[in-house]
Amino acid sequence: MILTVTLNTALDLTYRVPALKPHASHRITEVTERPGGKGVNVARVLAALGHDVTVTGFTGGATGRTVQDHLSTTPGLVDALVPVTGPTRRTIALVDDQTGDTTQLNEPGPTITPAEWSAFQEAYEDLLAPASAVALCGSLPPGVPVGAYAGLIRLAKAAGVPVLLDTSGEPLRRGVAARPDIVKPNAEELAELTGSHEPLRSAQDARRRGARSVVASLGTEGLLAVTPEGRWRATPPARIHGNPTGAGDSAVAGLLSGLADQLPWPDRLARAVALSAATVLAPVAGEFDRAAYEKLLAPVSVTAA
């Protein structure tokens, strides 16, 4: 079982409009609703790939119940969310059909009390026992300590469970110091962490700070991986046009899937890039196009960096 942690779960709403114009009223042509938050997105892709996945984090209010209702219909996915008093947040993606551009609106998460945080940590420790890997993903809701991921990494390592961290800012900085097995920042997050805008140098610096392996997302240029086994760049066969929402989460799912299947690093990276590209091509934000994934997997280029 792969465990994904989403401390700031969400209900993702995607609105499509013919053309997005500031200061104007818009007629929405299509509405899509699905459970969200980075770790939930990762879990959904893993389940679609055939892995058994457990989702944990926080859920609250009517929005949280809607998230759980959606999760209950996803084959291969187990809901282990911890209830809290505050309402789960919503995120709204406004898709401009004319340009294909997406505007994202993210609500803040619920304020987590010390008692709720303690309850989550107890549940998390119990869930680690059957886990083959754990992914810690996304932002921290108000009330959760900024060093929360560092503590969760230490608990996973004490239990002998490989851990991937995908976050940003100070939670990333503190998390890296706790020595996760993999960190998966994008280029901007990596530069903020290390102060260098050269991806290879920055990834090497992140390893020196504590991460065992660093996989940096470079947008349309694919992924850069710096690991104890080697350094690689993985790129899609052509520039992909579409909606990038959730593409980074699909890359995380590809890395975890490859880890679970004990693939060598080049094959893990190829899977991650193909899934990411197939997500950009999907008609619904955050989903992935399976036919595109299968078509893209073989032509992904993985070369030594």
Query: Looking at residue 162, what DSSP letter applies?
Result: -
Between CA 104 and CA 285 the distance in angstroms is 11
Cα-flanking dihedrals φ and ψ of residue 90, to 5°? -120, 145
Q: Dump the DSSP string for 278-296.
A: HHHH-SSTT---HHHHHHH
Between CA 273 and CA 295 the distance in angstroms is 12
Between CA 82 and CA 64 the distance in angstroms is 10
Q: How far is CA 29 from CA 15, 35, 114, 241, in A?
A: 7, 21, 43, 21
Between CA 217 and CA 242 the distance in angstroms is 17
Q: Report yes or no: 246 and 272 within 8 Å, Cβ to Cβ.
A: no
Q: How far is CA 216 from CA 48, 221, 278, 292, in A?
A: 24, 11, 18, 23
Partners of 135 in beta bridges: 4, 164
Between CA 257 and CA 249 the distance in angstroms is 12
Active site residues per annotation: 249
